[in-house]
C-alpha cells in the first residue's frame, strides 16, 4: 500500500480538487483507493456525500485515529491512500506526512502561496519524505506562471510535477455534482491534465499499471 499526503500551509490552492481528482483517477485505473479527509471543513467528505458512485472510498479521520485507519486500510487490501490535510499550522499535516510515501504540495501562482511554500517543503524535508510541488489554479495559456513556479520550486530544491492543473470551470461544476472533472468531461483539457498528473504519481510510486478488479475494501468505522 502506498500513501500520498496532500499538504500546503496556504488554503485555497486546490488541495481538495487535486485530492479528489487523483482519487478518481486511481480508482478508474483499477486500484483500491481510500481517501482520508483530515480537514475539519470536510470538503472531500461532503463531495463524497454528493456522489452516486461508491468509489473511491472516502472517510473523515482525525490525527489520533490515523495510524489505526491506515493499518485497517492495508489489511483490507487498499492499494493507495490519499490524505487531504487542512491549511494553516496544524498537527494534522505533519501526522499525514509522517506516514506518507509521497508528499504533494499544491501551490497556486500567487505571492501568498509562494510565501507559505517553504514551510510545507521544509516539513517534508525534515521527515525525509519525497515531495513534489504541483502548480494549481494557473491561468490557461499562461506560460509565465509556469516559468515563475519552476524557478521558485527550483530555489527550494523542490521537484515540480510536469503537468499543471489550470483554473478551469469544469472543476467547480464537477464538484457540485459530486464528480471529478474527468468524470464530467472525459475529453476536456482538465481531464487530460489530471491524467498526466496521475501518470506521474503512478510512476513515482511504482503503482501497478494494469487494470484489476477488486472487491470493495472495507475499513471499519
| Structural domains in the chain, sorted by start | 2-205 (3.40.50.300)
In this prediction, residue 143 carries a pLDDT of 85
Distance CA 190, CA 188 (A): 5
In this prediction, residue 87 carries a pLDDT of 87
In this prediction, residue 90 carries a pLDDT of 74
Q: Is 188 exposed, middle or buried (0-12, 13-18, 19+ CB in 10 A)?
A: middle
Pair 55, 82: CB distance under 8 Å: no
According to DSSP H, which parts of the chain are helical? 15-28, 43-50, 66-75, 92-98, 111-126, 143-155, 169-176, 181-184, 189-205
Question: Would you give per-residue pLDDT tens digits along the chain (221 residues)?
Answer: 999 999 998 999 999 999 999 999 999 999 999 999 999 999 999 999 999 999 999 999 999 999 999 999 999 999 999 999 998 777 899 999 999 999 999 999 999 999 999 999 999 999 999 999 999 999 998 889 999 999 999 999 999 999 999 999 999 999 999 999 999 999 999 999 999 999 999 999 999 744 444 444 445 55
The label of the residue with cell 482520508 reads 36
Amino acid at each position: 500500500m502506498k500513501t500520498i499526503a496532500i499538504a500546503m500551509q496556504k488554503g485555497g490552492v486546490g488541495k481538495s480538487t487535486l485530492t479528489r481528482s487523483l482519487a478518481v483517477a486511481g480508482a478508474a485505473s483499477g486500484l483500491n483507493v481510500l481517501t482520508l479527509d483530515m480537514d475539519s471543513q470536510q470538503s472531500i467528505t461532503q463531495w463524497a456525500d454528493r456522489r452516486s458512485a461508491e468509489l473511491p472510498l472516502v472517510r473523515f479521520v482525525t490525527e489520533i485515529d490515523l495510524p489505526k485507519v491506515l493499518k485497517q486500510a492495508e489489511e483490507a487490501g487498499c492499494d493507495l491512500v490519499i490524505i487531504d490535510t487542512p491549511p494553516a499550522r496544524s498537527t494534522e499535516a505533519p501526522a499525514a506526512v509522517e506516514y506518507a510515501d509521497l508528499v504533494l504540495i499544491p501551490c497556486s501562482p500567487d505571492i501568498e502561496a509562494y510565501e507559505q511554500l517553504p514551510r510545507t517543503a521544509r516539513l517534508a524535508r525534515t521527515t525525509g519524505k519525497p515531495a513534489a510541488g504541483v502548480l494549481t489554479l494557473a491561468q490557461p495559456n499562461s506560460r509565465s506562471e509556469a516559468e515563475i513556479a519552476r524557478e521558485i520550486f527550483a530555489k527550494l530544491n523542490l521537484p515540480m510535477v510536469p503537468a499543471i492543473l489550470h483554473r478551469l470551470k469544469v472543476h467547480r461544476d464537477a464538484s457540485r455534482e459530486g464528480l471529478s472533472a474527468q468524470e464530467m468531461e472525459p475529453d476536456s483539457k482538465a481531464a487530460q491534465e489530471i491524467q498526466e498528473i496521475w501518470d506521474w504519481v503512478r510512476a513515482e510510486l511504482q503503482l501497478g499499471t494494469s487494470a484489476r478488479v477488486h472487491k470493495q475494501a472495507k475499513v471499519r468505522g
